[in-house]
Amino acid sequence: MKSPRTICAALLLVPAMALSAPQASATDPAISKGSADQQKSTGAKETKRRLQDLACGPSSIHHTVRTEETPQSLPVQPADKALIFVIRPTHRGALVQTKLAVDKKWVGVNRVNNYFYFTLEPGPHYFCSQESDTQSLLSMVVEAGKTYYLQQKMAMSADLQLLHEEEGRKGLAKCKLSVFEEKK
Amino acid sequence: MVESPCAGSTVPAQSQDASASRVTLKASTPVQLRFTRAIASSQVIAGDKVDLEVTADVRVGNLIVIPKYSLAQAIVTIAQAKRTMARGGYMELKIETVRLGNGETAPLRMTEDVKGGGHKGTMIAGMVVVGIVDSPAAQLFMYVQGKDAVIPRNAEVTAYVNGDDLLDPAKFGPGAAESQPIPEAAAPTQDRSVPR
């Protein structure tokens, strides 16, 4: 059986070892790399949270949505603003809504083969595409007089992708205008 | 140190006009830059500023108008972290300005486009030479690691002066004109980035 003196010495030694551990990690490249990876991961999580706060709309707001079956003329590109088309040119998840918020406001809802559009002032904007409980985030500095095509996808979770113009136009041609309103 | 053939011209000194003693930093003068820290698409958002530093003096005649280690600034114009289903992140940067030897800034042009690899991309290589779209700029040396688009620290890139800039040599201080230009044959080439 160990004497109380030995136990006390052991108890004193444990914190001392714990204190010396950071010094050891600073010199051990393997541990330093792990620490760098951890920092990177923390940075990514913080950035995601920051972007969610800047982009996503309130979760309490719900929408009704229908498809405008008659072909609609496309909007004219304003010279002083960016024009954003949001398309969802797929058949997957027919009944699932994919919403898009910009700068904390819901700006549109799509279902299969739908599109909607809106304009933005030039400058940085923050986009949040949401399907059920999952979100896909994007931040972008938009320029006046430019058209942007964003594609919402149904994968395992929400997905938002910036398309090249040609790809965007092709996708848009397959879609019909979404008409949506906030549920009261 | 680099003296670019298109770096500029000295206005004839005989003229009494004040502007005649000025030198012109010409549009499209290349400026060699490097990133001072790693940039990952998961850790930046659009509008964030990114620092770069000049890696070689830019001269007009004998005058160093952009000294080595001068600060340049880029802005993140598009950022998206890696997504589900092995879809890579995406990032685009626009290099905006560089600090001149006289304390002023000159506009630069170029858009970098970095696309992170999905599984396919990461299987190909850890090091990928990525092209730049939507600009008259150049190829860019950088890594794409994992699924986030990543520009490593010290990645080099060439930007170009955007528009002629008329400069007063007197404002550059005595040190700026002291060094003699390197003979053309000894000067490092500026052709690492090939405009397309």
pLDDT at residue B148 in the model:
80
Q: Which fold has domain A63-182?
A: Immunoglobulin-like (2.60.40)
Q: Please, are residues B51 and B39 in contact by the beta-carbon 8 Å criterion?
A: no
Asked if pLDDT for residue B87 goes beyond 90, the answer is no
Confidence of residue B43 (pLDDT cuts 50, 70, 90): very high
Alpha-carbon torsion angle B17, B18, B20, B22, nearest 10: 180
Which of B82, B86, B93 lies closest to B155, judged by CA? B93
* Residue B133 touches partner A, C-beta closer than 8 Å: no
Mean pLDDT of B74-82: 89
Contact A50 B83 (CB under 8 A): no
Q: How far is B79 from chain A (nearest CA, A)?
A: 5
Domain ranges in chain A?
4-54, 63-182
Selection from B63, B68, B75, B78 nearest residue B33 by Cα: B68
Please tell me if residue B43 touches chain A, with a CB cutoff of 8 Å.
Answer: yes
CA distance A137 to chain B (A): 7
User: Distance (Å, rounded) from C-alpha A165 to C-alpha B17?
Assistant: 50
pLDDT at B103: 93
Domains and CATH numbers, chain B: 29-160 (2.40.128)
Instruction: Kindly tell me if the per-residue pLDDT of A173 is higher than 90.
Output: yes
Q: What would the pLDDT profile of A82-100 be if each residue is shown by its tens digit? A: 999 999 998 878 788 999 9
pLDDT at A175 (0 to 100): 95
Spell out which residues of chain B touch residue A141, defining contact as CB-CB under 8 Å. 46-47, 75-78, 94
The C-alpha of B119 sits at a distance from chain A's nearest C-alpha, in angstroms, of 16
Instruction: Give me the pLDDT at residue A183, please.
Output: 85
CA closest to A47 among chain B residues: B43
Residues of B within 8 A of A126 (CB-CB) are 45-46
Under 8 Å between Cβ of A87 and A115: yes
Q: What distance in Å separates residue A68's CA from the closest CA in chain B?
A: 31
pLDDT at position B147: 67
pLDDT single digits (tens) A115-138? 999 999 999 999 999 988 889 999
Q: Which residues of B touch A156 (CB under 8 A)?
A: 84-85
* Nearest CA-CA distance, residue A112 and chain B, Å: 20
Does B145 contact A at CB distance below 8 Å? no
pLDDT tens, position by position, A13-64: 444 444 444 443 444 444 455 666 666 667 889 999 999 999 999 988 999 9
Chain B residue whose CA is closest to A127: B80
Find tokens 């809802």 and name the residue. A109
Q: In whole angstroms, what is the distance from residue A169 CA to residue A21 CA?
A: 58
Q: What global pTM score does this model have?
A: 0.73
Residue of A nearest to B88 (CA): A161
- Chain B nearest-CA residue for A54: B45
High-pLDDT (> 70) share of chain B, %: 59
Helices A29-55, A4-27: axis angle to 10 degrees equals 70
In angstroms, the CA B124 to CA B143 distance is 12
E-assigned strand segments in chain A: 63-67, 82-88, 98-102, 105-110, 114-120, 123-131, 134-142, 147-154, 158-163, 176-182
Q: What is the pLDDT of residue B182?
A: 43
Chain B residues touching A137 at Cβ < 8 A: 80-81
| B78 vs A47, A48, A140: nearest CB | A140
B26-40 average pLDDT score: 91
Nearest to A136 among B43, B45, B83 (CB): B83
The fraction of chain A above a pLDDT of 70, given in percent, is 77
Residue A103's pLDDT band, with cuts at 50, 70 and 90, is very high
> DSSP letters of B50-105?
EEEEE-S-EEETTEEEE-TT-EEEEEEEEEE---STT---EEEEEEEEEE-TTS-E
- ipTM of the shown complex: 0.76
Q: What is the pLDDT of residue A26?
A: 41
Q: Which of B153, B57, B150, B159 is nearest to B106 (CA)?
A: B159
> B124 falls in which pLDDT band (50, 70, 90)?
very low
Q: Compute the mean pLDDT over every residue in chain B, rounded to the nearest whole number.
A: 71
Of B23, B156, B157, which Cα lies nearest the Cα of B100? B23
Q: Is the pLDDT of residue A76 over 80?
A: yes
Give the DSSP letter of residue B145: -
Phi, psi (deg, nearest 5) at residue B169: -60, -30
What residues in B contact A162, CB-CB < 8 Å?
Answer: 78, 80, 90
Residue range B151-180, pLDDT digits in tens:
888 988 889 898 899 999 888 877 776 544
- The C-alpha of A5 sits at a distance from chain B's nearest C-alpha, in angstroms, of 51
